[in-house]
Amino acid sequence: MSDWLRQFGLARPPFALAPDPAFFHPAAGHGLALARLREVLCGEGGLCLLTGEAGMGKTLLARALVASLPVEFRVLWLADPRVDEGGIVDALLGALGGPAAASSRTARLAALEGAFRAARCGGRRVLLVVDEAQDLAPAVLEWLRVLVDLGAEGSRLLSVLLVGQPRLWRLLARPALCPLRQRLAARVHLAPLSRREVAAYLRHRLGVAGCRRPLFTRCAVAALSQRSGGVPRLINQLAGRALILAARVGRRQVGRRWVARAASHLGPALVLPPGLDRVRRRRRVAAALVLLAALAPAAGIWWRGEEASALARLAEARGLGAAPSTATALCRRAEVQGWACAELPAADPPPTSLVRLRQGRRERWAFVAAKGEAGLLVADAAGEHHLPWERYRRRVIGPALALWRPPPGYDGPLAPGARNPRLVAWLAERLKTLGLVEEGLIAGGVYDAYLAAAVRRFQAARGLAPSGILEPATLIALQEKAWPPAGR
């Protein structure tokens, strides 16, 4: 046993990178994902999808899921996504003890169906787990659809769990793979851990390794959460290295500076996945804007009067009474009355929002009173005036600020494949009103690929990034009655 393990009372390394189901921690999202996948697989079965950025613990969750399944499951892992149709057939038949596959597609299907039925008659259920599935060829994905469709009296002979990074969903969004998407029985996406979940994650792994006392200070936990972005793999790298560095000088507890030193030692190895890195940069920009809004009045910046006038118009439009002196205070008051503040792309600001305009070398806030085909009606300390779209786009700076009432069920951005029955029902009705989906559509609780495709068309028409994600800018645009949009 290593000296540093003995020093901290550990029976084994708590932050090893190899996926070990004993260390699986059912954090809020991870625990719900495991429960949902287990429910589907132990029920009717079918095709399931597990996605998440690199390092989010997808493989560990899949192994924990397999370990939790009843003994009648026969599980086959496919670790090489570069396999072709023949490779999948050979692997399945080899695992089930079936005859060698013939060369024709029909003969392969017959051989596989016979092997599946024999397994079912013997009380066995077959599950194929495909890791790194974002690298599968579209032809192989179509072949998996055919295999999942094999059934006896309405029951699935084969269940498939596809595990991959977010680009797997973009691959499945191709029109040619629409039949496969329609057969998804469950789709779950792993999000980064919050600071509270990071603290629980550390306690869990240390407990499994044999230590019952807190080894990381609160400041160290905060530093681990911030530097790792909530990505479990990066947490493991940082926490493990910090323990070793602290043990070298006889420390019995890890503080924030040891986390900083661990990050310095890891260097280029400590890199957030691209998708999460973009989120972190957006959050930093938003924090800087909030700080600027808080500091500007105290610093006596010249546009204080214009900002106060624009805030007063916005507060009046939303029935909030006298306007506070800062946007931050206005947002706090609005939240009490059921409104929410949102920063939106300034290219197409909604009515009753604030925009920041350049005038010569100066900048000022203006209130958007209305908009139309020709431009915007804006109001500032000098009064109301018309601003053509072309001039507006040359002068606007930064995002727009809006107060909006979130639709039913909204508790944060919703990605395709996520479940939110109230929000999805509202979305379906709004898309029907706009003529973007069929009138007879009956929405389930899941934000499925059909609805996401309609939302992407809507976002593209409104000049928004066609991500399919339901975030404030998209929802506010959906709440507007004008369609198609003005000023395009």
Distance CA 124, CA 73 (A): 6
Q: Comparing C-alpha atoms, which of 142, 259, 447 is closest to residue 437?
A: 447
Q: Are residues 34 and 180 in the same domain?
A: yes
- Residue 233 belongs to some domain of the structure: yes
Q: Comparing C-alpha atoms, which of 443, 445, 290 is closest to residue 454?
A: 443
Q: Are residues 389 and 430 in the same domain?
A: no
- How do beta strands 158-164 and 47-52 pair? parallel
Q: Are residues 373 and 327 in the same domain?
A: yes
- Predicted pLDDT of residue 100: 63
Distance CA 382, CA 391 (A): 18
Q: Are residues 14 and 111 in the same domain?
A: no
- Residue 48 belongs to some domain of the structure: yes
- Predicted pLDDT of residue 101: 59
- Return mean pLDDT, the chain: 80
Distance CA 27, CA 190 (A): 10
Contact partners, residue 412, CB within 8 Å, separation at least 6: none
Asked if residues 22 and 29 have their Cβ atoms less than 8 Å apart, the reply is: no
Q: Comparing C-alpha atoms, which of 326, 296, 295 is closest to residue 312?
A: 326
Q: Comparing C-alpha atoms, which of 350, 485, 349, 474 is closest to residue 416?
A: 474
Contact partners, residue 340, CB within 8 Å, separation at least 6: 334, 403, 404, 405, 406, 472
Sole residue written with tokens 């013939």: 102
Distance CA 441, CA 429 (A): 9
Q: Are residues 183 and 34 in the same domain?
A: yes
- Residue 49 belongs to some domain of the structure: yes
Domain boundary among 250, 269, 288: 269
Q: Comparing C-alpha atoms, which of 410, 390, 400 is closest to residue 475?
A: 410
- Residue 488 belongs to some domain of the structure: no
Q: What global pTM score does this model have?
A: 0.57
Q: Are residues 127 and 202 in the same domain?
A: no
- Residue 74 belongs to some domain of the structure: yes
Residues of the chain scoring pLDDT < 70:
1, 28, 98-103, 151-155, 268-308, 323-325, 381-383, 440-443, 481-488
H helix runs in 318-395, sequence order: 327-336, 389-395
Mapped onto helix, strand or coil, the DSSP state of residue 158 is strand
- Residue 315 belongs to some domain of the structure: yes
Q: Are residues 373 and 323 in the same domain?
A: yes
Domain boundary among 226, 252, 269: 269
- Residue 45 belongs to some domain of the structure: yes
- Predicted pLDDT of residue 286: 43
- Predicted pLDDT of residue 130: 92
**Total domains in the fold of the chain:** 4
Asked if residues 188 and 62 have their Cβ atoms less than 8 Å apart, the reply is: no
Contact partners, residue 93, CB within 8 Å, separation at least 6: 99, 100, 101, 111, 112, 115
Q: Which residues pair with residue 332 across a beta bridge?
A: none
Distance CA 125, CA 119 (A): 7
Asked if residues 93 and 112 have their Cβ atoms less than 8 Å apart, the reply is: yes
Q: Are residues 463 and 428 in the same domain?
A: yes
The DSSP symbol for 260 reads: H
CATH number, domain of 224, equals 1.10.8.60
- Residue 412 belongs to some domain of the structure: no
Distance CA 112, CA 121 (A): 14
Within 10 angstroms of residue 88's Cβ, the number of other Cβ atoms is 22
- Predicted pLDDT of residue 382: 65
Distance CA 224, CA 254 (A): 11
Q: Are residues 98 and 36 in the same domain?
A: yes
Contact partners, residue 220, CB within 8 Å, separation at least 6: 242, 254, 255, 256, 258, 259
> Domain limits at 469?
421-479
Q: Are residues 162 and 215 in the same domain?
A: no
Asked if residues 342 and 476 have their Cβ atoms less than 8 Å apart, the reply is: yes
Q: Are residues 38 and 183 in the same domain?
A: yes
CATH number, domain of 33, equals 3.40.50.300
Which token pair is 333?
A: 């008051």
Q: Are residues 51 and 127 in the same domain?
A: yes
Could you please report the per-residue DSSP string of 204-240? HHHHHTT--S--B-HHHHHHHHHHHTT-HHHHHHHHH
- Predicted pLDDT of residue 273: 65
User: Tens digit of pLDDT for each residue in 241-300?
Assistant: 999 999 888 888 999 999 999 988 887 656 666 555 544 544 444 443 444 344 344 333
Distance CA 396, CA 345 (A): 11
Domain boundary among 136, 156, 190: 190
- Predicted pLDDT of residue 288: 39
Q: Comparing C-alpha atoms, which of 419, 418, 417, 426 is closest to residue 474?
A: 426
Q: How many CA atoms lie within 13 A of 379 on its CB side?
A: 18
